[in-house]
Amino acid sequence: MAEKRESDERFKKFGTVSFTSLTKTNAFIDHLENGKVTGTRCKGCGRVFFPPRADCFQCLAGNMEWFEVTGSGRLVSFSKLEYGPAGFQDDVPYSIALLDYGAYKIFGRIAPDLPDADIAVGMPMKTIVNRLPNGQLNYVFTNP
């Protein structure tokens, strides 16, 4: 009888509902567990990637190192959802947003405790790890 192979499905922990289980960027989840949001940098050409990726199309190589997202970015835009897609109805309302860090941008959610009136395009925000009520992990944007 064939031995059952263990598969590394760490990425199933990302977000309210994860649609990906197998990826070469699984270490991202370990970093979230340790309170860090991380991207990748190509050791060959120095190109920086967020979201992190395993492969550099410029060097046609997979020689990456991790870097931690630190400091603050500028809020490019956001939208508050009053209606959720299947699997997300329990999270409503929530706001999705984009932060610009200059060398890269980050797509995510705004921290749920931030009042709507305090959110404006152009404001500085930082990215922090967040544990969801269902035990899953993601990251959110909040005041620096």
What does the binding site for other proteins look like in residue numbers (CB under 8 A)?
Answer: 11, 14-20, 23, 50-51, 76-89, 91, 94-98, 104-109, 121-122, 138
Per-residue CA distances from 55 to 58, 61, 79, 122 (Å)? 9, 6, 31, 32
Of residues 2 and 89, the one with the C-beta less far from other proteins: 89
Dist. CA 57–CA 73, nearest whole Å: 26
Other beta carbons within 10 angstroms of residue 39's beta carbon come to 22
Q: Quote the least distance from Cβ 80 to other proteins, whole Å.
A: 4
Q: Quote the least distance from Cβ 43 to other proteins, whole Å.
A: 21
Element at 28 (helix H, strand E): helix 27-33
Of residues 3 and 83, the one with the C-beta less far from other proteins: 83
- At a CB cut-off of 8 Å and minimum separation 6, what does 60 contact? none
Q: Quote the least distance from Cβ 107 to other proteins, whole Å.
A: 5
State CA 114 to chain mean position distance.
Answer: 19
Of residues 19 and 60, the one with the C-beta less far from other proteins: 19
Q: Quote the least distance from Cβ 62 to other proteins, whole Å.
A: 16
Of residues 66 and 88, the one with the C-beta less far from other proteins: 88
Of residues 1 and 33, the one with the C-beta less far from other proteins: 33
Q: Quote the least distance from Cβ 78 to other proteins, whole Å.
A: 6
Other beta carbons within 10 angstroms of residue 110's beta carbon come to 22
